[in-house]
Amino acid sequence: MTYPQPPWNLKGYALQTLNVVNIEDSRYFVPPELEIVSIFPGKTLGGVYLSAYKSGSILEYNELIVVAALVSYQGKFGSWISHIYVDNEDSVAGGREIWGLPKEMAQFTWTNNSVSVSQQERQLCSLNYQKEWFSLPTWGQLPFGGDVFGGVRFRVTFILRTI
């Protein structure tokens, strides 16, 4: 397998959820050297990120990223990525070798208002959504980013823009 060197410029669309998660449910997935940050008593922030990287991307693939908790480590705050699933072997290899990310292969099924992710016969994630729920104006561009922990610590910046 061959994969492109970073940076990986990816174009497509994505869905992001933010969820209040019980700290005790997250603890199993977070290494003990990381402190889980509480946003409410007994609660942290987690979520999923589902994306489809299409034509114009350095690699074309689908991705499910699971954020188990908001964490701190050596005075830095970020998100702990506990699982990443993709449907491209080069993405698996590059994610593991370049960034030390726990990428695994999975199957993705997108329909008009839902996406389902599975490994063999086991369903990992299913999400129903409304396309009109959130959108930027046609002139919109919104950069955001943050620290991410998952194998190694790195910074991610997303540019949301409409075309």
Domain count, the chain: 1
User: Is 1 within a domain?
Assistant: no
Answer whether residue 6 is part of any domain. no
Whether 91 is in a domain gets the answer yes
Q: Which CATH number goes with the domain that contains 120?
A: 2.40.400.10
d(CA 53, CA 110) in angstroms, rounded, equals: 13
Please indicate, yes or no, if residue 43 is contained in any of the structural domains. Answer: yes
pLDDT tens-digit series, residues 125-134 = 998 887 665 5
Residue 32's domain comprises: 12-161
- Inside any domain, residue 35: yes
Q: What is the pTM of this model?
A: 0.81
Q: Is residue 139 part of a domain?
A: yes
Percentages (nearest 5) of helix, strand, coil residues in the chain: 10, 55, 35
| Single-letter residue type at 56 | G
Nearby residues of 1 by Cβ (< 8 Å), 6 or more positions away: 89, 90, 92, 93
Neighbours of 133 (CB within 10 A): 7
Q: Is residue 29 part of a domain?
A: yes
- The predicted-structure confidence for 106-155, as pLDDT tens digits, reads as follows 999 999 888 999 999 899 999 888 766 555 554 444 444 454 454 444 44
Confirm if 136 and 162 have CB atoms less than 8 A apart.
Answer: yes
Is residue 59 one of the residues assigned to a domain? yes
